[in-house]
Amino acid sequence: MTERPSRLIVIGENIHTTRVLMRKGPRLAVIDGVDVIKFTTVNGAEKTLTVPDSAKRTQDWEQGRVKHVKVAIDAAMQGGPEAGLGVEYLRTMAANQERGGAHFLDLNVDEISLKAEGQIAAIRWVVKTMEGMTKLPLSIDSSSVDVIRAGFEALSGKGQRTMLNSASLERLEALDLAKTYNAPVVVTAAGEKGMPDGIQPRVDNASRMVEAALQRGIALSDLYVDPLIFPVSVDTAFGPHCLEAIRALRLRFGPEIHITGGMSNVSFGIPARKLINDVFLVLAMEAGADSAIMDPVVSKPAELANLDRSSAAYKFAEDIILDRDRNCRSFLKAWRKGDLKV
Amino acid sequence: MAELSDIKNATIRAEVEEFVTRPEEIARNVALFTRAHERMQAIAAGIIDGDDDLVDKLTAEALKAGHEALEIMDDGLIAGMGVVGIKFRENFIFVPEVLACARAMKAGMGHIEPILSASGVDPIATVIMGTVKGDLHDIGKNLCIMMLRGSGFEVIDLGVDTSADAFIDAIETHGAPIIGMSALLTTTMPNMGKTIEAIIDAGLREQVLVMVGGAPVTQEFADDMGADGYGKDALACVSLAKQLIEAKRRNAPA
């Protein structure tokens, strides 16, 4: 067994325009007939950000959710009366990520607009704004290379090295960008023509990415390999696929390379997601991962070591992750009985 | 009027009582299950329980006992899946359980399909499915395909990264009345709209219904780009496909 790394490099994934708050949750309120999002600033001041009508005309709102980060960025970029509050909101989120133990602040604005121009304008604005308000290095995250490029162009160049999230075989040009900007880079195991099926395609695709990066003169220690984590709700074999790929990649590339991944994908489609995410993270670290793309405010890295591995809840989660519980049947049964409290 | 207590199968009775809450759905399910033969109720219960072995066995037995394939499909398999859909929509059950139900459905359809096709009963319709250009994500699309096939549709799977031309070729080749497009990324979602435009340019828009889905896709977006419908998950995809096809057949000149 690979020794558990002493440190987990957290790519703090919360300043994302996909992020939602529940309308029924504690952060939403109606004050004087106006729907608002409540937040507490770094200095402890209680503030509210108005939910604009544009956000209320969405399906999300109808279904009980609001994309709060999008609301904040829209407010700030539009420069209306709440522009300052929008900026304050983002500053608060960044501070919370920092306090939670993030090592990078991942920024993704893909859902700000359906148009490339809108996404590019937003990433430029967010990069410039966040650079000045956090001590953390940024991570520029998009599924479009054009958006990533725009984000890097917006950097002052004076700050710390910014991460690029991500490059893969279908967009190798992102590696050239990483080289140009001397950026640590997430390389994924996605193939040119599709997602990897099983362990070996993950290892093969990821290895080709590592080779391609090395050829461009990117150092092994600047690579964050993401073997791709798929939801075990869809197929319980996905857990071992990812964990075994991590093991093989660590063995193949040694201690210098980083192994990461969007850990919370694993629990999509099942309840008790935090439990599953935490157990998966422990198992991934044991297999050789030393990084995670995650929200450290929700899953606290420092608490992982304290997980009670002999608890029934841990066992149930471990069983679905290691493909020992067909259709997650026992897990869901235990959840319904209320047996999954940690 | 049939009452809930008239449903003979205890599992079905309990399931409908506990999980079906909308009045029109209660009425529909009570009417359906009080009318359905007890064997059909047992098959539906097997579907709801996600027990593929049981459904396999009960379907074979029902055929042997002389039940029509169509009866088994409608009153057993599809009736059971209807309850599954309601439970999933109301968050009583989760993805792994729906998949188990879909596998049970597949086990039953394995007996039914050959009989239906041999006797000239066509599938409900053919659906062409693909993830749009630039997008390699297929987990959601594959779930939709599994549910569609389980519900009696024939599906042509174009896979991922599907160009507008590939959709158009498939529409022409298979004469399918419906296509379904999927996207997981905001950056690839506009390719749905572009594909619809290409279908219009190819002069095929009149003959094909377009449904769309995927995490970032919404009803508003579907409306904006001129799709005929949006489904928020795999079960919604099946009911949408059914609705679209029924509406099309109702409106078609006889």
According to CATH, the superfamily of the domain at B126-251 is Cobalamin-binding domain (3.40.50.280)
Shortest Cα distance, chain A CAs vs residue B224, angstroms: 11
> Where in chain B do CATH 3.40.50.280 domains reside?
126-251
CA-CA-CA-CA torsion sign (A188, A191, A197, A199): negative
Q: What is the pLDDT of residue B150?
A: 85
Asked if A292 reaches chain B (Cβ–Cβ under 8 Å), the answer is no
HSE-CB of B138 using CA atoms within 13 angstroms: 22
Find the residue in A nearest to B136 (Cα): A194
Across A110-124, average pLDDT: 94
Distance between CA atoms of A90 and A127, rounded to whole angstroms? 12
Residues 6+ apart with CB under 8 A from A323: A232, A236, A237, A239, A240
**DSSP per-residue letters across B187-216:** TTTHHHHHHHHHHHHTT-GGG-EEEEE-TT
Q: Locate A341 and state its tokens.
A: 């409290």
- Cβ atoms of A22 and A64 closer than 8 Å: yes
Contact: B136, A111; criterion CB under 8 Å:
no
Q: Which two tokens stand for residue B103?
A: 């596998």
Q: Do residues A20 and A60 make contact, with C-beta atoms less than 8 angstroms apart? A: yes
Place of tokens 């059909």: B40
Angle at A97 between CA A94 and CA A100, to 5 degrees: 150
Q: What DSSP string describes B139-182?
A: HHHHHHHHHHHHTT-EEEE--SSB-HHHHHHHHHHH--SEEEEE
pLDDT tens-digit map of B75-116: 999 999 999 999 998 999 999 999 999 999 999 999 998 998
Task: Report the complex ipTM.
Answer: 0.87
Instruction: State the Cα–Cα distance between residues A218 and B243, nearest whole angstrom.
Output: 54
Query: What's the 3-state SS for A128-146?
Result: HHHHCCCCCCEEEECCCHH
Which residue among B138, B185, B187 places its CB closest to the CB of A195? B138
Residue in B53, B139, B147 to test binding to A, most A beta-carbons within 10 Å: B139
Q: Convert the pLDDT of each residue in A262-311 to its tens digit.
A: 999 999 999 999 999 999 999 999 999 999 999 999 999 988 888 999 99
As a whole number of Å, the end-to-end CA separation of chain A is 26
- How far is B242 from A330, CA to CA, in rounded Å? 34
Q: Is A342 helix (H, G, I), strand (E, B) or coil?
A: coil
Q: Is the pTM of this model over 0.90?
A: yes
Q: What is the mean pLDDT of each run of 10 residues along chain B (254 residues)?
A: 91 96 95 97 97 98 96 94 93 94 94 90 92 94 92 94 97 96 94 97 96 93 94 93 92 69
Residue range(s) occupied by CATH 1.10.1240.10 in chain B: 4-118
Report whether B9 contacts B42 (CB < 8 A). Answer: yes
Q: What CATH number was assigned to the domain covering residues B4-118? A: 1.10.1240.10
Query: Which pLDDT score is estimated for A4?
Result: 46
Report the gap between the CA of B95 and the closest CA in chain A (Å).
Answer: 5
Give yes or no for A147 touching B (CB within 8 A). yes
